[in-house]
C-alpha cells in the first residue's frame, strides 16, 4: 500500500484485478486493497486453494480461470499454464502488437509467449514481468533469449525474479530494445522513449546488472565489454581522494597462507562513509576478476542508497567503476589490496608510463597471474600518488606466496613473506627495523594471531580477526577465498550479517 500512496493511485478506480499465481508476493496485497472497501472483479487461476477463493468471495466478485479467456476487450488471460506451479499471464492487444505481462513465468517464459501467439494473431511487441531465470546458467539464458528472438519478440522488460545475470544478458542482446523496468515506471509500447538513450548495449547490460545485496548499501554489478574507453576519466592519480572530513587512515590487510587448501586474504577498509559495489569484470584479453569499489567517489550518498531505483541514464557514473578498485581477486587467484602510508618519496622515471595508484590495481588484476607478475607490472610504471595518499600494496596468490610492495626513498621495495602469512597496516614496513612490534597495535594483533595459528584461518575466523582490529571508521571487511573463489563481505561492522558471494556469479 506504500507504493499505492507514493504513486497516488486511486483504488476506487480499480475495476479488475488479476492474480498470476498463488505465491504470497503476488497475492498478499489483495486483502489490503479489498479492506479499503473497493469491490473489483478478481480473476484467479481455478487451481487456487478453496480457502483463498472463499476469502475473496466474502468481499467481492470472484472469477475462476482455467482456459484462455477475454477479461476485457483486448485484454486476455492465457488461462492456467504449467504443472507444479500453476500460473496465468496477461495478453494485451495494442496498436503496436501484443504485450505479454507475466507474474513469475514459472511455466516458462517461452511457453507463455507461444501461448499468447496462439491466442492473438499479431506480432509480440513487448514481454514484461518476471521471467524466473534465477537458477539458470549462462548457456540456458542465452538459449531463451534466442528462442524469444525467433518468436519475434521485439522488446523485453525482464524484472522481479528474472535475476541480475539474466537481465544483463537480455539488455546486452536486445540493446536499444531492452526496456528498463521498475516500480511505477510507465512504458509506452513501441515508443522511442521506452528505450535507453545514449547507452551502448554493453553499457545497458552493465548498469542493468546492478543488484543490492546489503542495506549499507553494498551492490553487485557485472561489467560487460571493454572499459579502456573510460580511462580518460581517471588519468594520472585519478583524483580519487576524499579529504573533506577525513578520518585517519587505518586499513588492515593480511594473507593467511598456512593451509594450502584454504588460502585466504582479509582486509579492512577504514575511511569515511563508503557505500560499495562488488564489481565483476572479464575484459577482452584479460583475467576475470572481482573487486570492491567505493562508489562515494562516483555518486552522492543519497544516490548511493537508491541506485536500483534510478533510471539507467542516472547510473552512468558507475561505468567508470573498473578504475577504482580498492582491493580485489582475479580468476588466477591473485589478490591485491592497498593501504595508505606516509610518503615514501616516490621518484618518477621519465622512461616509464605513469599510471594512477588505483589504476595499477586494475592492471594487476587484469593481467597478472601471480605475485611475481604483479610485482613486474608495478615496477614497469611510475605509480602516481598525487591524486590521493601514498599507498603500499599487499599481494598474495594461489601458490602461497605473498609480497608487500612499497615505495621508499625513491625505490620500489618488495618484501616477500618469510612465513605462512603476511600483513600490512599503515606504516612503511621498509622504514623500520626487522622487528616491527609496537609500530601499530593492529599490526601487532594480526601478527600475533596469525603466528599463533601458523597462518591457518577459516573464512569465519578471518572475519573474526578483522572484527578484532576494526575501528569506528571501518567501512567494509572482506575475505577473499583464494582457492574457493568465495568473497565474504561485511559492511559497516555488521559482523553478524556477512554476505557470501561467489566470484563468478
Per residue in 405-433, pLDDT (tens digit) is: 999 998 999 999 999 999 999 999 999 97
155 domain residue, yes or no: no
Asked if pLDDT for residue 239 goes beyond 60, the answer is: no
- Check residue 231 and give its pLDDT: 45
- How far apart CA 435 and CA 483 sit, in angstroms, is 31
- Check residue 190 and give its pLDDT: 67
Average per-residue pLDDT for the chain? 90
Strand 155-159 to 124-130 pairing: parallel
Q: 377 is written with which cell numbers?
A: 607490472
Asked if pLDDT for residue 236 goes beyond 50, the answer is: no
- Check residue 191 and give its pLDDT: 54
136 domain residue, yes or no: no
This prediction's pTM: 0.71
- Check residue 235 and give its pLDDT: 42
Q: Lowest-confidence range among 38-42, 73-77, 194-198, 365-369?
A: 194-198
CATH of the domain at 320: 3.60.60.10
- How far apart CA 268 and CA 467 sit, in angstroms, is 9
The full DSSP string for 468-504 is HT--TTEEEEEEEETTT-EEEEEETT-TTS-EEEES-
Q: What is the mean pLDDT of residues 325-329?
A: 97
Alpha carbon 77 to its chain centroid, in Å, reads 35
**Stated length of the chain:** 505
Asked if pLDDT for residue 470 goes beyond 90, the answer is: yes
- Check residue 248 and give its pLDDT: 56
- How far apart CA 253 and CA 141 sit, in angstroms, is 38
The full DSSP string for 432-466 is S-S--TTS-HHHHHHHHHHHHTTT---HHHHHHHH
Start-to-end CA distance of the chain, whole Å, equals: 34
339 domain residue, yes or no: yes
- Check residue 335 and give its pLDDT: 98
Q: CB of 133 within 8 A of CB of 163? A: yes
333 domain residue, yes or no: yes
Number of domains in the chain: 1
Sequence-distant (≥ 6) Cβ neighbours of residue 240 within 8 angstroms: 234, 297, 324, 356, 358, 387, 388
Strand 402-408 to 411-416 pairing: antiparallel
H/E run at residue 505? none
Per residue in 151-168, pLDDT (tens digit) is: 999 999 999 899 888 998
Per residue in 344-381, pLDDT (tens digit) is: 887 888 889 999 999 999 999 999 999 999 999 999 99
- How far apart CA 29 and CA 43 sit, in angstroms, is 14
Q: What is the mean pLDDT of residues 216-227?
A: 92
Per residue in 117-129, pLDDT (tens digit) is: 999 999 999 999 9
- Check residue 278 and give its pLDDT: 97
412 domain residue, yes or no: yes
- How far apart CA 159 and CA 102 sit, in angstroms, is 10
Asked if pLDDT for residue 241 goes beyond 70, the answer is: no
55 domain residue, yes or no: no
* Residue 434 pLDDT level (bands cut at 50, 70, 90): confident
Q: CB of 169 within 8 A of CB of 181? A: no
Q: How many CB atoms lie within 10 A of CB 85?
A: 14
The full DSSP string for 209-272 is T-EEEETTTEEEEE--S--GGGGGGG-TTTT----TTPPPP--EEEEE-SSTTS-EEEEEEESS
Q: 210 is written with which cell numbers?
A: 546492478
Asked if pLDDT for residue 318 goes beyond 60, the answer is: yes
Closest to 284 measured CA to CA, from 202, 166, 358: 202
Q: What is the mean pLDDT of residues 47-69?
A: 94
350 domain residue, yes or no: yes
422 domain residue, yes or no: yes
Per residue in 247-280, pLDDT (tens digit) is: 456 899 999 999 999 999 999 999 999 999 999 9
Q: CB of 419 within 8 A of CB of 393? A: no
H/E run at residue 339? strand 335-340
* Residue 196 pLDDT level (bands cut at 50, 70, 90): low
Domain span holding position 468: 211-239+249-502
- Edge-first strand listing for the sheet containing 41-45: 16-18, 41-45, 62-65
β-strand partners of 126? 99, 155
Higher pLDDT, 186 or 313: 313
Q: Where are the beta strands (DSSP E) in 95-182?
A: 97-102, 124-130, 155-159
Amino acid at each position: 500500500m506504500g507504493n499505492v500512496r507514493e504513486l497516488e493511485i486511486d483504488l476506487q478506480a480499480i475495476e479488475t484485478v488479476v492474480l498470476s499465481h498463488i505465491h504470497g508476493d503476488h497475492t498478499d496485497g489483495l486483502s489490503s486493497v479489498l479492506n479499503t472497501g473497493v469491490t473489483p472483479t478478481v480473476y484467479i487461476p481455478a487451481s487456487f486453494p478453496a480457502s483463498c477463493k472463499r476469502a475473496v468471495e466474502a468481499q467481492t466478485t470472484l472469477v475462476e480461470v482455467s482456459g484462455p479467456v477475454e477479461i476485457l476487450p483486448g485484454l486476455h488471460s492465457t488461462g492456467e499454464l504449467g504443472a507444479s506451479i500453476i500460473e496465468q499471464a496477461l495478453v494485451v492487444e495494442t496498436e503496436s502488437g501484443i504485450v505479454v505481462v507475466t507474474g513469475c513465468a514459472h511455466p516458462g517464459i517461452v511457453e507463455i509467449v507461444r501461448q499468447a501467439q496462439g491466442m492473438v494473431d499479431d506480432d509480440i511487441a513487448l514481454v514484461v514481468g518476471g521471467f524466473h531465470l534465477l537458477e539458470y546458467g549462462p548457456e540456458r539464458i542465452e538459449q531463451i533469449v534466442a528462442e524469444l528472438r525467433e518468436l519475434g519478440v521485439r522488446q523485453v522488460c525482464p524484472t522481479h525474479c528474472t535475476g541480475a545475470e539474466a537481465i544483463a544478458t537480455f539488455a546486452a542482446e536486445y540493446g536499444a530494445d531492452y526496456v528498463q523496468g521498475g516500480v511505477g515506471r510507465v512504458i509506452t509500447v513501441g515508443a522511442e522513449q521506452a528505450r535507453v538513450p545514449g547507452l551502448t548495449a554493453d553499457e545497458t547490460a552493465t548498469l542493468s546488472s546492478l543488484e543490492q545485496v546489503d542495506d549499507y548499501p553494498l551492490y553487485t554489478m557485472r561489467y560487460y565489454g571493454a572499459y579502456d574507453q573510460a580511462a580518460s576519466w581517471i588519468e594520472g592519480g585519478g583524483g580519487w581522494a576524499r579529504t573533506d572530513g577525513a578520518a585517519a587512515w587505518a586499513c588492515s590487510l593480511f594473507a593467511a597462507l598456512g593451509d594450502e587448501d584454504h588460502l585466504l586474504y582479509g582486509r579492512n577498509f577504514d575511511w569515511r562513509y563508503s557505500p560499495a559495489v562488488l564489481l565483476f569484470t572479464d575484459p577482452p584479453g584479460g583475467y576475470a576478476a572481482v573487486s570492491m569499489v567505493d562508489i562515494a567517489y562516483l555518486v552522492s550518498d543519497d544516490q548511493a542508497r537508491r541506485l536500483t531505483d534510478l533510471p539507467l541514464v542516472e547510473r552512468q557514473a558507475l561505468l567508470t567503476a573498473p578504475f577504482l578498485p580498492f582491493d580485489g581477486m582475479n580468476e588466477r587467484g591473485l589478490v591485491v589490496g592497498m593501504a595508505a602510508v606516509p610518503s615514501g618519496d616516490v621518484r618518477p622515471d621519465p622512461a616509464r608510463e605513469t599510471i594512477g595508484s588505483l589504476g595499477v590495481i586494475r592492471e594487476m588484476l587484469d593481467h597478472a597471474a601471480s605475485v611475481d607478475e604483479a610485482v613486474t607490472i608495478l615496477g614497469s610504471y611510475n605509480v602516481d600518488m598525487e591524486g590521493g595518499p601514498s599507498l603500499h600494496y599487499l599481494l598474495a596468490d594461489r601458490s602461497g606466496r605473498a609480497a608487500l610492495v612499497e615505495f621508499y626513498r625513491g625505490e620500489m621495495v618488495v618484501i616477500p613473506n618469510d612465513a605462512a602469512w603476511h600483513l600490512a597496516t599503515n606504516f612503511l614496513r621498509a622504514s623500520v627495523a626487522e622487528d616491527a612490534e609496537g609500530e601499530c597495535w593492529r599490526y601487532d594483533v594480526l601478527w600475533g594471531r596469525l603466528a599463533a595459528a601458523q597462518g591457518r584461518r577459516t573464512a569465519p575466523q578471518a572475519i573474526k580477526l578483522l572484527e578484532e582490529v576494526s575501528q569506528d571508521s571501518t567501512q567494509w571487511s572482506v575475505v577473499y577465498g583464494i582457492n574457493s573463489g568465495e568473497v565474504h563481505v561485511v559492511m559497516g561492522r555488521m559482523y553478524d550479517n556477512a554476505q557470501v558471494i561467489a566470484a563468478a556469479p
